Amino acid sequence: MTGPKLNEAPVIRRRPESKAHAVSTPTPSARAIARHVRVSPYKVREVLDLIRGHEVRRAQDILRLCERDAAFVVGKLVASAMANAEHNHALVTDELFVSACFADEGPTLKRWRPRARGRATRIRKRTTHVTVIVSRLPESELRQRRAERAQASSGRRGGPRRTPAATGRPDRGGAGRGRRRDQLSTSTPSATGIDTRSFGTEAEPLTDRPEVRTEGPAAGGAATTHAPDDDTPTEGVSTVDAEDKE
């Protein structure tokens, strides 16, 4: 049985006013055919029913997620039909939809399988001729789509900007970050002159601490530490050098 079946009729997206108008204004379309595909027509028709009437981009997404093996062959046919429409008929691929798709029975290969008691069982390896037709969307639908795209783009560019006060949410933007930056800058030692290494209750300013000068170890004792304003050794340091001088 060849030709389109009952559930494989072309999809009509708009009804012409008369038969003469439909003949005088044909819809531009392109097709792709795969012959002698080693798949049963029954299995291919189940996949074709998923994409019939959909736009080509939507049909490709459906076939990409389909788990049947016939979806790979049908996906290649849809891509081929899109290429034919673009190169042979100068159609835009984004304006195409799957207007018709059907699977015809091809020649059946006969094979034999040996069975018990010397008998043989026939094996039928089916083949299929798959056809996919893509057509341009109606002009009314294309105008509606362009208007929706223009409205969406104008809304994104010219719409009012939502502020934290309008949304009722607290402002966590640049002002908060600026205050935090100021707090960090004022708490650094270079700005306040406070030694952050001290662990006491009160920090000791760096400007009030005397400059400390450390000498090397003497011949018979430990090293001594002197302050620039006072020649006496500091506490906790050996005074061997001071006693030798006296």
Residue 101 lies in a domain: yes
C-beta of residue 204 within 8 angstroms of C-beta of residue 198: yes
Query: Helix or strand or coil: residue 6?
Result: helix
pLDDT tier at 211 (50, 70, 90 boundaries)?
A: low
Which segments of the chain does DSSP mark as H helices, in order?
19-24, 41-51, 56-65, 70-88, 139-158, 164-167, 174-186, 189-192, 240-245
Residue 35 lies in a domain: yes
Say how far apart CA 246 and CA 241 lie, in whole Å: 9
Residue 104 backbone dihedrals phi, psi, to 5 degrees = -105, 150
Give the least confident one: 32-36, 105-109, 148-152, 178-182.
178-182
Radius of gyration of the chain (CA): 44
**Res 140: pLDDT:** 84
Residue 68 lies in a domain: yes
16 or 51: which carries more pLDDT confidence?
51
Find the CATH number of the domain harbouring 70. Answer: 3.90.470.10
Please tell me the chain's helix, strand, coil percentages from 3-state DSSP, rounded to the nearest 5: 40, 20, 40
Sign of CA dihedral 139, 140, 144, 145: negative
DSSP 197: T
* Both structure tokens of 195: 């030694």
Residue 39 backbone dihedrals phi, psi, to 5 degrees = -140, 150
Residue 77 lies in a domain: yes
Residue 213 lies in a domain: no
- Which of 19-28, 111-120, 131-140, 230-239 is modeled with the greatest confidence? 111-120
Q: End-to-end CA distance of the chain, in Å?
A: 128
Please give the torsion angle defined by the CA atoms of residues 177, 183, 187 and 190, in that order, rounded to the nearest 10 degrees: 70
Residue 126 lies in a domain: yes
Residue 7 lies in a domain: no
Say how far apart CA 86 and CA 171 lie, in whole Å: 51
DSSP 94: G
Residue 217 lies in a domain: no
Give the least confident one: 65-69, 129-133, 163-167, 231-235.
231-235
Mean pLDDT of the chain: 74
Query: Helix or strand or coil: residue 111?
Result: strand
- CA neighbor of 135 nearest in space, from 227, 14, 7: 14
Indicate the number of domains in the chain.
Answer: 1
Say how far apart CA 186 and CA 183 lie, in whole Å: 5
pLDDT tier at 157 (50, 70, 90 boundaries)?
A: low
For 169-182, the pLDDT digits (tens) are 655 555 556 666 66
pLDDT of 36 > 90? The answer is yes
pLDDT tier at 1 (50, 70, 90 boundaries)?
A: very low
126 or 215: which carries more pLDDT confidence?
126
Domain hosting residue 98, numbered range: 31-137
* Both structure tokens of 5: 């079946």
